[in-house]
Amino acid sequence: MPVCPECNTKVAASQRTCPVCDTSLDGKKSSAKSKPATTKSSTAAAKKSTKPAKASDQSFFAVGGSVGVAVVIALFIGLRFGLRAYNKHQNRIQSQQTSGQTGAPSQPVVATNYGSSQETRDVIAKLGRRIPSYHDTHGSLPPPQYAPKTAPGLEASWMTHLLPYGDQAPIFNMYKFDKPWDGDDNLKTLQIRINEYRNPLIVYNYQDPKGREIAMYAANSMVITPTSSIKLAEMIDGTSNTMVMGTINQGFPAWGDPNNCRNPAEGFGGGSKAFGNATGQNAMILMFDGSVREVDPNMSKEVAAQLGNPKDGQIVTP
C-alpha cells in the first residue's frame, strides 16, 4: 500500500492524493487553498484584548469624569457671579452719571461712597504739604502769579501753581501762563488728569464740556481768590485755625479754573456752592498747618462762616 511522503499516512492504491495532508502521491502539493495557521501567541493576544476592564480602571475613569464635570460647573458658576458683580459695579457708576464722558450731567451729582475716608484724608494731607512750601517761596498763598491789573485774563488757578511742589513739574512747565487759562493754548495741558485733585470717595468720570479734567476740592474764598490771597501774617486766628481748602461734591470745576474757590459761609452740606463730601460722609477741610479735619455737614452757616474766616478772632473747632 502506498505511503504519503509528507505525513506517512497509508493511502489506497487507487487514490492519487493523501486524504490527510492533501499531498499528491507523486510528491506535488495540491493547488487547493490551505487554511491559515493561527499561532498560540496571537490567539492569546486576541483573548487578552477581549477581556473586560478591571473594576479599578472603571472607577478611575468614573471619578475622573465626575471631577471634570464638577470643575466645569464651578467655572461656570464663578464666571456667572463675576459677571453679575461687574455689572452691578457698572450700574452703580451709571446711576451716578448720564451717558457721555464730557460735560456735566443735566442734574447735580452727589456721589456715593466708593473708596475710603482715610484715602481722602491722605490725599488732602499730601496737598497740605505743598501749600506751606509755596508760601515759603512766594510769601503768600497761591495764586496769583499774574494779577489782573498787570495781565488781565491771565489768572491761573491755585492748583496750577501747586503743580511743581508735587510731582507734576512737567505738567506745570507745559502750562502757558502768558495765555488765557481757558484758551486753546492750555487746553491739552488741562485735559491731563491729576489724581491728587480727585476725591477717592467719589465716582465721577466726567470732564468739563471742553474735555478738561476736574477738581474735587475747592479753596476757601476768604483765603484764596482768583485775584488775591493772604499771607501768614494775616492769619490772626493762627495757622491751625485757618482753613485753606475743602472737599466738594457737586459742580466740579476744571482744576485749571481760577474761580475754583467757595465761601465756607455757604456751609458744608454739599451742593454746587457749598463744601461737602460723598453721601453720608463729613466734609473734610485742610488747615494751613497741614492738619485735616472733618466737618459736620449740618454745621450752621453762621458757625461755618466763622470757621472759614482766618482773621475774625473766632476760633471754631469742627
What does the pLDDT look like over 145-196, one tens digit per residue?
A: 555 555 666 778 999 999 999 889 999 999 998 899 999 999 999 999 999 9
The answer to whether residues 6 and 141 belong to one domain is no
76 part of a folded domain: no
175 part of a folded domain: yes
Question: CB 166: neighbour CB atoms within 10 A?
Answer: 16
Q: Is the pLDDT of residue 36 over 90?
A: no
The answer to whether residues 174 and 285 belong to one domain is yes
The pTM score is: 0.65
The answer to whether residues 137 and 3 belong to one domain is no
The answer to whether residues 144 and 290 belong to one domain is yes
Distance CA 231, CA 128 (A): 16
Task: Check residue 227 and give its pLDDT.
Answer: 75
The answer to whether residues 160 and 21 belong to one domain is no
75 part of a folded domain: no
Rounded to 10°, the helix 130-138/117-128 angle is 10
pLDDT band at 95 (very low <50, low <70, confident <90, very high): very low
Omega before 144 cis (within 30°)?
yes
The residue segments making up the domain with residue 137 are 117-308
34 part of a folded domain: no
Task: Check residue 38 and give its pLDDT.
Answer: 45
Distance CA 282, CA 298 (A): 9
263 part of a folded domain: yes
272 part of a folded domain: yes
Q: How many domains does the chain have?
A: 2
Sheet (strand 292-295) strand order: 261-262, 217-220, 243-247, 283-287, 292-295
pLDDT tens, position by position, 191-241: 999 999 999 988 888 888 899 999 999 999 999 887 778 888 888 888 888
The answer to whether residues 21 and 122 belong to one domain is no
Bin 56: left if φ > 0, else alpha if -120 < ψ < 50, else beta: alpha
Task: Check residue 125 and give its pLDDT.
Answer: 94
Eight-state DSSP code of residue 197 = G
The answer to whether residues 172 and 281 belong to one domain is yes
- E strands, 71-136, where? none
* C-alpha Rg value of the chain to the nearest Å: 45
The answer to whether residues 157 and 21 belong to one domain is no
The answer to whether residues 169 and 279 belong to one domain is yes
190 part of a folded domain: yes
265 part of a folded domain: yes
